[in-house]
Amino acid sequence: MPQIVVENLSKSYRVSERAPGVWGATKGMFRRAARTVEALKAISFSLERGELLGFIGPNGAGKSTTLKILSGILEPDSGRCEVDGLTPSRDRIRHVARIGVVFGQRTQLWWDLPVVDGFDLLRDIYSVPETQYRRTKDAMVELMRLEPLLDQPVRQLSLGQRMRCEIAAAMLHRPSILFLDEPTIGLDAPSKLAVRAFVKSLNRDHGVTVILTTHDMHDIEALAERVIVIGNGIILADQSFESLRKEVLTERRLFVDFVGAAPALDFPGVAELHRDGNSLELSFDPSVVGAANLISWISAEYDLVDIHIQQPRIEEVIARFYNLHGAIEA
Amino acid sequence: MIARVAPYLSVFRMRFLIMLQYRTAALAGFFTQCWWGIILVMVLAAFFHGARSHEPISFAQAVTYTWLGQAFLVLLPWTGDPDVGEMVRSGNVSYDRLRPLDTYFYWYVRAMAWMAARAVPRAALMFVTAGLIFPLIGLGAWRMRFPSSVAAGLLFTPALLSVVLLSSAMVMLINLTVVATVSDRGANTLATPIVIVLSGNLLPLPLFPDWMHRFLFLQPFAGLVDIPSRIYVGNLTGAVALAGLLQQVVWIGLLILLGHHLMLRAMRRLQVQGG
């Protein structure tokens, strides 16, 4: 029995619009135009207890909307959404007591309060028994190395420090599910690593089910076994990260510097991407064209200064994947 | 029951303690209210001096009534809770919906704490100044008196508590218009003139024309200043005083029911954009 079931979930927003300029504003006083934007178009997926799912997609794809419906903040227009047997928007209070949520772009801690006071308030809000609370808090403080931060007011923390506190705060009532909406946004490299390690440990050692949205493919690479790619409100891919990577990362790049001007190459299965004086950037699929064959042919035919093969960056590939599916935000 | 109320008490306590920190604001507010109080009392003095008929409230009562209005000025619901305005703009409402609490009462206790914490230092300063210092500096006629009797003092306590409950219910209605319009300007501007006139803060309600008295006593804003102040000064006694308390309780109940209902509707229509 999956822990999370989503079936044909749809959600649309009404966005008001007006024509630009004085005329548009005047017209807008009498007639309001509104456009319906379909944020989710009948998406379906399910998740087993203890899974770690990465949600990726361009801005405006519907990632956050999905998380907000799953966490009970938004009500879907149609479709079924069940988490641990509860319908989030209908059984909101019982549901939210069992989940933890972190929005990377917002803060749930109180700006004016020291971190530890915020934690204590959350203890009271979630009615966590004192002994359980102390044990969870100590574990989180140790795991995220929060000890020196506890007495500081939240507004004085750096973004990285705050995000560590935010995730710890979301875990104080021991939720079995954690929703993370862009938890690494704006963080520096060490903070990102810390957040990833923390999430991984929660998932692996504590069995917490995690859904994570991100634009950082390294988050996905480091954490998610399974990835859902969403674009324009539909699911474009739902598979293991490895198979997605194999699928989209088949291409290789060959960079060649010639002694003279770069020639026009004619080799079946090889495409020219970029040409700059003596240099060429070529693209090929190693399952069609053997890399060794290609290199030995080129070096036999021409005088070379340098030659090397690269994998395209995963960001670039994902962008192409979005493009291919027409998923880029209008 | 206790377990279900405990989270709200904790939220109340936290906001109360945060709001108590703003000492400068309290001091500035107190001086403004002194200034206004003196102007209003001078107007009253001129009015009573020229009055020919017998008024339904004495000058001394009206003066104390006015000072009570100034002392508890921040208990008046003329703006929404600034935290709610901020949350609506920033989208942090999301986090409030993630708490296993009834969002209406979650905000309600915060509004209560917000108002009560600001009222405590201001009212204390006002009682000391208008009640104790004025007679010493020769302004005895314009001073704020003690409750007219022990009974009046005893009845004033629940009446004052009801002011906080009633006002919070009204602040919640303003908060809900803030949620609906995603701006705290409109409702705040609209609420101020209605509240200061109909509560009795500007002019004691008994000084309005006789034919308006029944309406003025029954309308919800009377419970904010008029009813508790008239109980305090002994202008409402016995059964009428109890009717006043009942009037407050009925309006508190009705406004909470209304607000709670509107909150459910607002949250169903909630859109959280971006991010």
Dist CA B208 CA B197 (whole Å):
11
Q: How far apart are the first and last CA of chain B?
A: 38
pLDDT class of A310 with cuts at 50, 70, 90: confident
**pLDDT band per the 50, 70, 90 thresholds, residue A327:** low
C-alpha A181/C-alpha A141 separation (Å) is 22
- Is B274 part of a structural domain of the chain? no
Q: Token pair for residue B254? A: 């009705």
Tell me A148's DSSP state.
G
Total CB pairs under 8 A between chain A and B? 75
Domain that holds residue B141: 2-268
Of the two residues B190 and A211, the one the predictor is more confident about is A211
Q: Residue range A57-74: average pLDDT?
A: 89
What does the mean pLDDT of chain B come to?
90
Q: Tokens for A206?
A: 């504590």
| Alpha carbon B259 to its chain's center | 17
Residue B206, in any domain of the structure: yes
- Given an 8 Å threshold on Cβ–Cβ distance, is A125 in contact with B10? yes
pLDDT at B274 over 80: no
Angstrom distances, CA of residue A175 to CA of A178, A306, B3, B269: 7, 55, 20, 27
Token pair listed for B50: 């020229």
Identify the band that residue A328 occupies on the pLDDT scale cut at 50, 70 and 90.
low
Count of structural domains, chain B: 1
> What confidence score (pLDDT) does residue A57 get?
85
What is the per-residue burial (b if ≥16 Cβ within 10 Å, else e) of B68-101?
bbbbbbbbbbbbbbebbbebbeebbbbbbbbbbb
Identify the residue among B9, B15, B94 best suited for mutation to test binding to A, counting A beta carbons within 10 A and taking the highest: B94
d(CA A133, CA A145): 17
The alpha-carbon gap from B75 to the nearest alpha carbon of chain A, in Å, equals 23
B241-265 residue pLDDT tens: 999 999 999 999 999 999 999 999 8
Report the residue from B7, B11, B97 with minimal CB separation from A73. Answer: B97
Residue B36, classified by CB atoms within 10 Å of its CB into exposed (0-12), middle (13-18) or buried (19+), is: middle
CB contact under 8 A, A113 and B14: yes
Beta-bridge partner residues of A36: A14
Beta sheet of A209-213, edge-to-edge order: A99-103, A177-181, A209-213, A52-56, A226-231, A234-240
Task: Decide which of B90 and A69 is more confident.
Answer: A69
Flag whether the pTM goes above 0.80.
Answer: yes
Mutate to test the interface with B, among A73, A119, A154 (most CBs of B within 10 A): A73
Q: How many CA atoms lie within 13 A of A18 on its CB side?
A: 13
The share of chain B scoring above pLDDT 70, in percent, equals 97
Contacting residues for B243 by C-beta, under 8 A, at least 6 apart: none
User: Residue B117 domain-assigned?
Assistant: yes
Tell me the three state secondary structure of residue A58.
coil
Instruction: Identify each DSSP E strand in B125-267 by its residue range.
Output: none
Does the structure show a pLDDT above 70 at B116? yes
Nearest CB to B100; choose among A97, A112, A121: A97
Amino acid (1-letter code) at residue A271? A
Q: Are A8 and A80 in contact (CB under 8 A)?
A: yes
Q: What is the DSSP string of A231-268?
A: ETTEEEEEEEHHHHHHHHT--EEEEEEESSSPP----T
Q: Higher model confidence: residue A313 or residue A244? A: A244
d(CA B133, CA B38): 14
pLDDT of B275 above 50:
no
- Collapsing DSSP states into helix, strand and coil, what is residue A7? strand
**Rounded Cα–Cα distance for residues A25 and A19 (Å):** 7
Q: Which residues of A touch B274 (CB under 8 A)?
A: 64
**φ, ψ of residue A153 in degrees (nearest 5):** -65, 145
Backbone angles phi, psi at A283, to 5 degrees: -125, 140
A329: pLDDT strictly greater than 70: no
- B255 with B220: CB under 8 angstroms? yes
Region of A60 on the Ramachandran plot (φ > 0 left; ψ -120 to 50 alpha; else beta):
left
Question: Is residue B109 less than 8 Å (CB to CB) from chain A?
Answer: no
Q: Are A110 and B275 inside 8 Å of each other by CB?
A: no
Closest-CA residue of A relative to B19 is: A112
Is B204's pLDDT higher than 90?
Answer: yes
| A10 touches A216 (CB < 8 A) | no
Least confident of A162-166, B50-54, B56-60: B50-54
Interface of A to B at Cβ within 8 Å reads: 13, 64, 68, 71-75, 92-94, 96-97, 99, 101, 103, 105-108, 110, 112-113, 117, 121, 124-127, 181-182
Cβ of B270 under 8 Å from any chain A Cβ?
Answer: yes
B47 pLDDT higher than 80: yes
Q: How far apart are CA A247 and CA A270, in angstroms?
A: 18
Residue B199 domain flag: yes
User: pLDDT confidence of B183, banded at 50, 70, 90?
Assistant: confident
3-class secondary-structure state, position A153 = strand
- CA angle (A15, A18, A23) in 5-degree steps: 175
CB contact under 8 A, B6 and A127: yes
The more confidently predicted of residues A79 and A285 is A79
**ipTM of this predicted structure:** 0.86
B99 within some domain:
yes
